[in-house]
Structure 1
Amino acid sequence: MSRKHHPGEGDELLARLGSLTAQARRHAELQRSQVELALALQRDMLPAELPAIPGFRLAVAYAPACTGLNVGGDWYDAFAMPGGRLGLSIGDVQGHNTEAAALMGQVRVALRALASVAADPGELLARTNDLLLSLGTDLFATCTFMQLDPSTGLLESARAGHLPCVWATADGRSGTSEDDGGPPLGVAAGAEYPVTRYHLTQGGVFVLLTDGVVEGPSLPVEEGLDQIVRLAGIAAVAGLSPDSLAAAVIKGAERVGHDDDAAVLVVRHDDRGMDAVRARAARDPAGPPGPAGPGGRGHP
């Protein structure tokens, strides 16, 4: 039995299809605008330039997610601290939207502001954690903060729920940092963040990264970290520049189709320029304030 078509039924169907198509187009345009806004916020809130430190070279790289709306939460930072020290941070705010990008900017600025009054990276993360909790946001952030003394190569590190760092030496050793760490920022009141100390030797590198670098649909995080360890080891032995290493790390993240944004910060000990640092230290025997807080382990 055939179905009778009423006059105008076809026109009504076409009109409905046109309306749905228009809605889909508007939704796609809104999504694209959100991605573009989050990405613009992300790039504008990252540091425009890196500090110049005699005896050390820095490099950074950032890549937005390969698919979807997953952009907006990762950051890196490097800045001068009192006493000639250098602050290094990398982290990731939960979420992938404009809210995450805005909170990322707040956390990065808070770390800079509190670094001048905190005794060590552990206290710095504890104070930042309290500040984030006071904001009343539902978001949290993972973070690694390192404090470098260029006159000695001493690195003091604390970690808040973040991935371990990768290190390598010019004599062929490499691995991941072994610090215990604490919970992410903005999760638990009164959290403590142990400090671990390392020595960055001549020709050695440290690679700070976010999980978008080492984890993707085709790559478990453990395998991703192993790849970066091998890459950093080759770079340290070969004497590759930090820029080349950072670019190679980000390129690897793109190959695994990472579904999160990815950030990399590389610091390399380059003995060129250390004469000026030693001369300043000789003129000022007291030197910068000594490290405080719990001790640590590790001498890459």
Structure 2
Amino acid sequence: MMRTWQISTVTDAARARIAAARLAAACGAPPLERTRLAAALSAQLRQCLTKGGTWRLTLEEEASGGQCLLHAVVTPSLETCAAGAAPWRTTVSCPESARDAESGAVADENPEALAEALLGADEDTALVLDKLSEQEELVAFHREELHQTNQGVVALHAELDAAGRAQREAFAAERKARREAESARRRLTFLADASAVVTASLNHHEIVRRLAEVLVPEYAAGVDVWLFDNSEHADAGAARHRPAPHPAAAVVAARTGRPQYAADHPGGLPGVDDQPPSALNPDRPLLCIPLMARRASLGVLTLSPPGERWDPDDAVMLIELARRAGTAIDNARRFEHNRDIAETLQRALLTDLPDTPGLKLAARYLPATHGLNIGGDWYDAFRQPDGSVIAVIGDVTGHGLHAAVMMSQLRTALRAYAVDGGSPGRLLTRLHNFLHHLQPDLYATAVIARFRPGDPTLTWAAAGHPPPVLRTADGRVRILDAKPGAMLGIPLKQEIADHTVRLSPGATLALYTDGLVERRARGIDPGIERLAQALGGFGAAELEADLAGAADGILHPLLSDSERDDDVCLLLCHLSGV
């Protein structure tokens, strides 16, 4: 169905617009679509009226795919078309065709119909406005939702950024902590190793030399050690001692007992006082650390830095190393003092061997290479009232001054007991009782041999001691391993027996302590066999001519493979030929 209107005035345009809206409503077009059609048509007709002339509105229904298409076409008249005006077209989809043939008609003389059409248009406009309000509310809701989402995204980005910064800071802190831990581990390792090197010696000169070696060049470019007793000076570049002037900061450190830092800038070192630069070396900072021991200052350690200055943690480590070095130096000095006393006592206790016709004696005593160089080993030889000669060799358990003092007491007691003329076994028995009552926790071993002038019989007795070794005149070697008594001083009542062996001129008896023959890895028996071989290797003429040289010749092969961690004592008794 097609409907046509001629439009040349505003009234024609209004009626055509009302007719188009009614026809769209009759076709079931939704209010929104009707309003769009009316608004578009009104705008187009307004343009047409502005251009002038006569225009024709054509409304045509077309069935398509189960629905109705309403076409609205505005075309100009012939004269208007000739003036260059173009047709205008729009289409509205409607659910159904208009059933009322007059649905698009508008009565010219019916104002009520026009008013009704106007109100209907307003109703459609109101529906459109309601729909628009709903859409605006929906848009506002989505706008607020989008705003909230944006705020959340912004907050999330801020949180992510903060988390990133925190993570970066944590990584940086972890790297810093790892570096600090590695530096601390390096310092502790150095302190442990350096302390072991410095404290390994009991010679204070050696400690000073080693202290300079471990510090240069990692922690010091130069080292100076000032010891108060003799003002000894140790230079890191050379192991030598020479007097030298000392920086003022070192004097302050010596007087106050506190570390001092001398430089033209503050050191910032914990526990260290700042001082002006040294006049001796104003261009180099100096760290002067007192060497303390038992709250007394032994000297001052003066260091110059390997670079521009020290790290505070390095300074703390150096102060601790100086403390340990001071203790080591103090221990070494005390040891050296005790060693000097012990050696003096040991020399005082060594006996001058008697000159006896028909009997030659030679003795050797070598202290251990470790410790105080003094122990409980001793030898002695003296005459008894009847003219016989007593030769004895013994060993008190332990080392040091205590063992030396007990050895001296045993030596003195033996000489006192020998005045009564007892046999070797009887003398050892009395020494056993003496030591048990004098020092219940101290023990000793000994061998006593008695030579009588003109008597070829040797009487001997042993108490827990290695057996004597006898070289007979014909060159054969025997180990006198008859059953000995127990150690002297043990909580046991015993009577130590005598043993005898016949001698002839040219025979040599070797008495010794276990330090000569005993080795930790091999025991004592192989050492006794080696001693026997060494003694048997000498001829009678050699022993007769130079017994002291023979003693040296025995010691050398037996001790060549030993570090002498025990004292060594050897006593050779040779019967001269007639």
TM above 0.5, one fold? yes
Query: 2:342 matched to which residue of 1?
Result: 38
Return structure 1 stretches of 4+ with deviation > 4 angstroms: 4-7
Per-residue Cα deviation, 1:147-170 (whole angstroms, up to 9, x for no partner): 111211321111010010111113
Asked if 2 retains the 8 angstrom alpha-carbon contact of 1:203 and 1:239, the reply is no
Normalising by structure 1, we get a TM-score of 0.84
Give the Å deviation of 1:221: 1.5
Q: Name the aligned partner's letter for residue 323 of structure 2.
A: S
Give the Å deviation of 1:271: 2.6
- Find the aligned partners of 1:231 and 1:211 in 2 and give their Cα distance: 16
Cα separation, partners in 2 of 1:139 and 1:86, compared to 1, 3 Å:
same
Query: 2:213 matched to which residue of 1?
Result: none
Give the Å deviation of 1:214: 0.9
- Find the aligned partners of 1:7 and 1:188 in 2 and give their Cα distance: 62
Query: 1:254 matched to which residue of 2?
Result: 559
Pick from 168, 176, 183: which aligns with 1:2? 176
- Find the aligned partners of 1:198 and 1:128 in 2 and give their Cα distance: 23
Give the Å deviation of 1:238: 4.8
Give the Å deviation of 1:117: 1.7
Once structures 1 and 2 are overlaid, which stretch shifts more, 99-108 or 214-223? 214-223
Asked if 2 retains the 8 angstrom alpha-carbon contact of 1:207 and 1:267, the reply is yes
Pick from 462, 466, 482: which aligns with 1:159? 462
Q: After superposition, where does 1:263-278 map in structure 2 within 5 Å?
A: 263-272=569-578
Q: Equivalent residue of 1:235, what SS? A: coil
Query: 2:391 matched to which residue of 1?
Result: 88
Q: After superposition, where does 1:223-242 map in structure 2 within 5 Å?
A: 223-240=526-543, 241-242=546-547
- Find the aligned partners of 2:321 and 2:424 in 1 and give their Cα distance: 58
Pick from 310, 320, 328: which aligns with 1:16? 320
Give the Å deviation of 1:98: 0.4
Q: After superposition, where does 1:56-205 map in structure 2 within 5 Å?
A: 56-69=359-372, 71-205=374-508
Per-residue Cα deviation, 1:14-67 (whole angstroms, up to 9, x for no partner): 2112111111221222233333332322221121x2111111111111111123
Per-residue Cα deviation, 1:93-118 (whole angstroms, up to 9, x for no partner): 00011000010001011111101225
Q: Equivalent residue of 1:152, what SS? A: coil
- Find the aligned partners of 1:112 and 1:62 in 2 and give their Cα distance: 20
- Find the aligned partners of 1:133 and 1:16 in 2 and give their Cα distance: 47
Q: Equivalent residue of 2:509, what SS? A: strand
Asked if 2 retains the 8 angstrom alpha-carbon contact of 1:174 and 1:229, the reply is yes
Asked if 2 retains the 8 angstrom alpha-carbon contact of 1:169 and 1:233, the reply is no
Give the Å deviation of 1:198: 1.3
- Find the aligned partners of 2:365 and 2:453 in 1 and give their Cα distance: 25
Q: Name the aligned partner's letter for residue 262 of structure 1.
A: V
- Find the aligned partners of 2:521 and 2:533 in 1 and give their Cα distance: 18
- Structure 2 residue 528 is the aligned partner of structure 1 residue 222: no
- Find the aligned partners of 1:76 and 1:192 in 2 and give their Cα distance: 23
- Find the aligned partners of 2:555 and 2:369 in 1 and give their Cα distance: 12
- Find the aligned partners of 1:256 and 1:214 in 2 and give their Cα distance: 11
Give the Å deviation of 1:125: 0.8
| Count of aligned residue pairs for this structure pair | 271
Q: Name the aligned partner's letter for residue 561 of structure 2.
A: V
Query: 1:286 matched to which residue of 2?
Result: none
Q: Name the aligned partner's letter for residue 349 of structure 2.
A: M
RMSD value, Cα: 2.0
Q: Equivalent residue of 1:38, what SS? A: helix
Give the Å deviation of 1:251: 2.1
Query: 1:293 matched to which residue of 2?
Result: none
Give the Å deviation of 1:256: 2.6
- Find the aligned partners of 2:380 and 2:474 in 1 and give their Cα distance: 28
Asked if 2 retains the 8 angstrom alpha-carbon contact of 1:212 and 1:253, the reply is no
Cα separation, partners in 2 of 1:31 and 1:219, compared to 1, 3 Å:
farther
Q: Name the aligned partner's letter for residue 112 of structure 1.
A: R
- Find the aligned partners of 1:223 and 1:238 in 2 and give their Cα distance: 27
Cα separation, partners in 2 of 1:218 and 1:252, compared to 1, 3 Å:
farther
Query: 2:246 matched to which residue of 1?
Result: none
Q: Name the aligned partner's letter for residue 391 of structure 2.
A: L
- Find the aligned partners of 2:559 and 2:334 in 1 and give their Cα distance: 25
Q: Name the aligned partner's letter for residue 76 of structure 1.
A: Y
- Find the aligned partners of 1:32 and 1:219 in 2 and give their Cα distance: 33
Cα separation, partners in 2 of 1:50 and 1:156, compared to 1, 3 Å:
same
Q: Name the aligned partner's letter for residue 550 of structure 2.
A: L
Per-residue Cα deviation, 1:210-249 (whole angstroms, up to 9, x for no partner): 0111123565321111111111112244532321221122
Q: Name the aligned partner's letter for residue 176 of structure 1.
A: I
Q: Equivalent residue of 1:60, what SS? A: strand
Give the Å deviation of 1:253: 4.1
Pick from 543, 547, 550: which aligns with 1:245? 550
Q: Name the aligned partner's letter for residue 130 of structure 1.
A: N
Structure having the higher Rg = 2
Q: Name the aligned partner's letter for residue 551 of structure 2.
A: A
Cα separation, partners in 2 of 1:255 and 1:219, compared to 1, 3 Å:
farther
Q: Name the aligned partner's letter for residue 37 of structure 1.
A: I
Q: Equivalent residue of 1:35, what SS? A: helix
Normalized per residue, the structure richer in helix is 2
Q: Equivalent residue of 1:84, what SS? A: coil
Q: Equivalent residue of 2:319, what SS? A: helix
